[in-house]
Amino acid sequence: MSGEIVKSLIVPAHPHPVLCPEKNEGWQRVRDAYDDARRQIEESDADLIIVYSTLWPSVIGHQIQADPNPEWVMVDADFHDLGSIHYSLRIDTEFAEAWNQANINRGLESRTVSYHGFPVDVGSVVALELLNPDNRIPAVICSTNVYSNRAETTVLAKACMDVVKAQGKKAVAVSVMSLSNRMFTEPIEPHEDRIHSLKDDEWNRKILEFLSEGRLEDVGQLSRTIHDQIRVKKVVAFKPMWWLSAMNDNRNDLTGEVLAYEPIHGAGAAVVVLNPESNGTGDKEYDEDDVDFYGGDRNVLDSDKDAEPKQPINSGPALYDPVEGANAVNTSKAPKPVGAYPHARREGDLIYLSGVGPRQPGDNSIPGGPIKDSNGNPLNYDIKAQTRAVVDNIARILEEAGSSLDKVIDVTSFLVDMDRDFSGYNEVWAETLGKVGPTRTTLAIRALPTPIAVEMKVIAKA
Amino acid sequence: MAKGGIVAGCLAPHPPHLVYAENPEQNEPVSEGGWEQLRWGYERLRESLKDVDYDVIVILSPHWQTYVGTHFIGVEKCSSKSVDPVFPNLFRFNYDLTIDVELAKAIHDQAKSEGMSVKMMTNPDFRVDYGTIVSCHMVRPEWDKPIVSISSNRSLSYYSVEVMQEMMIELGKSTAKAIEESGKKCLLIASNSLSHRHFVTETNPPEDMSKEHITSHAMHLWDMRMIEMMREGKSQQIINEMPEFCEQAIAETDGGALTWLLSAMGVPSEPAILHGYGTIIGTGNAIMEWPCRNWGA
């Protein structure tokens, strides 16, 4: 099963395109762009709409809507005079619950909400009302944590993608947000609307230039600067771009199209569609940490030092110090063995590695998450993250032996779920060892000693 | 017609945890209690106001956030369910309240005549914010007084604490003038906590008081400083130090309610009564009363 993001959208949150597009030509163009985006979704094979709304703040981690059918009447706090929006949404509760669990697996604080009368935020209501008016496609909605910064937001997206892939979804990712969000502080007539300042307009156009070129990751890199320059500080940081970028594997070569850019009460309202097809230009330029697991920077002042660690405890056998001896090669940069053996052994011109998994040296954590919890309940995990971690561990052991990845000559790989994981494993292989060209054998096995999905046995030249 | 007046001003924080812990019939979740220090503080405030005659509660809550001026509810009967989007597990409250539209409109008109950006909210589908409901319930659980609900103009977000305070001082003056001309006796409520850095995790159950404490020593020092100034009647100094307090304590006073309240009371040099102080998921909360009714003309 292989899921993916088939389309990504940036859409504005204000209610004007729903309630009164006819009052201003620009608002009507935003409405028309919304309609265009809706048609594009309908023509795709999308089976899920994932909404990340900056209009739903949360404090206790992230919250995910899990009521199968939230219904109410929404009235905007500022623009209540424009009217009411009766909403009745269709939520993919199975996905919502799985995303919540995937968040927890990756170290995030997270919970679902399912309560009659819960006030779905204006941004989510507007976006789903216009993109999915008949609820043809189920949706899922996630809050914006007011304190979260880049690492937490990136991991949130990766956890979401764990589930997209595990469930084989064809998903549309939607960031509901303004560009510049400074509104006029007094009522205006519709015909008076314009972007609040020339500076805001210039920044908005620069952002849209990047997006039209598919440079989503570049916009993500600029998030802090954008936030400082054109954002009223309602929440910490301009995070929807971090989320959307991570949902797209932090790519910079998407195909982008700006369907509309107009002012709504002074704020920058844009409808942008990003398609996964490569525009043929630009490689990824990713120079910030590509964090997979949220270790947390919270509760540093909490007096409860006995609290259980947030990271899932990886059940499994006791760990050993690697066995020393003639020709043995061991390193503290690789995870401890689960038995009495060395990390590697040199024999003549060859180096034989013991089976290498994705566990991390030091904290024994598993990038991409463990495949099951301590009670044996299956968890969603990211096979690509696990496979990358395996290759990284191999590289560290070879480096200790004075060798390197490009000297690997034979690999035997073990997967615990061939049907689910072969594709992702193969993709990472192609990006790494596949470029070296060792012989390879891949086997499906029932289990490994620790809750991991992949292990490799390697022979390399010294 | 006799002049209206302010019988008391109250700092009345609104964390939904307090209503949750009280288990009123209007709220759906059920608790084992918790946050007793603050709930007993509210009990003392209610006792202090028990024999005070007043007509209406005027409240400014930071959880009706408006960016286009200050808004006033202009619908007489408001009845619906209020669900806190941040703590929906604690607060799902069925409310049925009455708005004093006449006084709301009078304050609106007065503020407008002074050049402020204001708007009446007349959409009958509008849901009253949970901050207003929590504070009003904790001060007057009988719900037998009409209220005036004023939004929090987020001018701080657009400008600075200084500009926010200028606006709130003007709004406070307009509020006091409209009340005086209305002939009504009013209880004023600023619905906000003090230091406002939350924990980002929740205990199980949420009312596990063994985990409750202020988030940091710095927040505690700021809270105590503000309370001491209130107890000593140093209202002007509170206003003077508000920018530093908002920045360093991430204080919820950034919504303007406390400045509005102090202004409406004439920036009093009379001391406030501390009825209670406690923390809620790490934030600092004080229940204060300025007994204006005892101050003379």
Paired tokens of A424: 């992702």
pLDDT of residue B84: 96
In the block, tokens 């940036």 appear at A10
Distances (CA, A) of B167 to A441, B151, B173: 72, 13, 10
**Number of CB pairs, chain A paired with chain B, less than 8 A apart:** 105
Amino acid code (one letter) for A117: G
* CATH number for the domain that contains residue A395: 3.30.1330.40
What is the arithmetic mean of pLDDT over B189-198? 95
User: At A144, is the secondary structure helix, strand, or coil?
Assistant: strand
Spell out which residues of chain A touch residue B126, defining contact as CB-CB under 8 Å. 75, 80
Range B243-279 burial, b when 16+ CB lie within 10 A, else e: bebbeebbbbbbbbbbbbbbbbbebbeebbbbbbbbb
Contact partners, residue B70, CB within 8 Å, separation at least 6: B111, B116, B117, B118, B119, B150, B151, B153, B167, B171
Q: Which two tokens stand for residue A300?
A: 């540093």
ipTM of this complex > 0.85? yes
Task: List, for residues B181-191, the tens digit of each pLDDT value.
Answer: 999 999 999 99
Residue A421 CA to residue A453 CA, distance in Å, equals 8
Q: Are residues A120 and A224 in the same domain?
A: yes
Q: What is the pTM of this model?
A: 0.79
Answer yes or no: do A334 and A228 share one domain: no
Query: Are A257 and A332 contained in the same domain?
Result: no
Q: Which of A61, A157, A105 is nearest to A314 (CA)?
A: A105
Same domain, A86 and A184: yes
CA dist A197 → A118, A193, A230, A244, B243 (Å): 36, 11, 9, 26, 26
Element (H, E) at A372: none
Determine the distance in angstroms separating the CA of B247 from the nearest CA of chain A, rounded to an integer. Answer: 13
> Could you write out the DSSP letters of every residue in A426-441?
HHHHHHTGGGT--EEE
A344 and A258 in a common domain? no
One domain, residues A267 and A353: no
Q: Do A59 and B126 touch (CB under 8 A)?
A: no
For residue A103, give the CATH number of its domain. Answer: 3.40.830.10
What distance in Å separates the CA atoms of residue B143 and residue B95, rounded to the nearest whole number? Answer: 9
Query: pLDDT grade, residue B180 (50/70/90)?
Result: very high
Q: Of A239, A255, A275, which one is at a domain's C-terminal end?
A: A275
**B203 near B17, Cβ under 8 Å?**
no
Residue A296 domain-assigned?
A: no
Nearest Cα of chain A lies from the Cα of B193 at a distance, in angstroms, of: 16
Sign, CA torsion B28/B32/B38/B41:
positive
The reply to whether residue B81 touches residue A116, judged by beta carbons under 8 angstroms, is: yes
**Domain housing A19:** 4-275
Are A33 and A140 members of one domain?
yes
For residue A393, tell me if it sits in a domain: yes
Chain A residue at shortest CA distance from B65: A77
Chunked into runs of 10 residues, chain A (462 residues) has average pLDDT values of: 89 97 98 98 96 92 97 97 97 96 91 97 97 97 91 94 93 95 92 95 96 92 85 70 93 94 97 92 66 63 44 62 90 90 94 94 83 79 92 93 94 94 93 93 92 95 93
Under an 8 A CB cutoff, do B86 and A298 touch? Answer: no
- Selecting from B65, B92, B158 the residue whose C-beta is nearest the C-beta of A117 gives B92
Query: What mean pLDDT is predicted for residues B124-153?
Result: 97
Place of tokens 């779920």: A417
Identify the pLDDT of residue A305. Answer: 44
Residues A162, A93, single domain; the answer is yes
**Residues A353 and A223 both lie in one domain:** no
* Chain mean pLDDT for chain B: 96
- A256 plus A354 within the same structural domain: no
> Is A348 in the same domain as A453?
yes
| C-alpha distances in Å from residue A107, one per residue of A176, A290, A313, A382, B231 | 25, 15, 11, 14, 44
Q: Tell me, what's the pLDDT at A229?
A: 84
Domain count, chain A: 2
pLDDT for residue B155 is more than 90: no
Query: What are phi and psi for residue B29, nearest 5 degrees?
Result: -65, 155
Q: Which residues of B touch A109 (CB under 8 A)?
A: 200-201
Q: A274's torsion region: left (phi>0), alpha (psi -120 to 50) or beta?
A: beta
> Which chain A residues contact residue B215 at CB under 8 A?
301
pLDDT in tens, B69-96: 999 999 999 999 999 999 999 999 999 9
B112 close to B184: Cβ distance less than 8 angstroms: no
d(CA A340, CA A328): 12
Q: What local confidence, expressed as pLDDT, does residue B89 receive?
A: 97
Name the CATH superfamily for B5-294.
LigB-like (3.40.830.10)
The Cα A275–Cα A8 span in angstroms is 6
Radius of gyration of chain B (CA): 18
Whole-angstrom distance, CA of residue B251 vs CA of residue B197: 8
Facing residues of A72 across strands?
Answer: A87
- Cβ pair A61:B67 closer than 8 A: no
Beta-carbon separation of A61 and B200 below 8 A: yes
Q: Which of B86, B123, B158 sits opposite A81 (nearest CB)?
A: B123
Task: Report strand pairing: A350-353 vs A454-461.
Answer: antiparallel
Residues A405, A432: Cα–Cα separation, whole Å = 9
Residues 6+ apart with CB under 8 A from B216: A301, B197
Which of B28, B63, B68, B75 has the most A C-beta neighbours within 10 Å, making it the best mutation to test the interface with A?
B68
Instruction: Tell me whether residue A210 is in a domain.
Output: yes
pLDDT for A292: 76
> Which pLDDT score is estimated for A368?
86
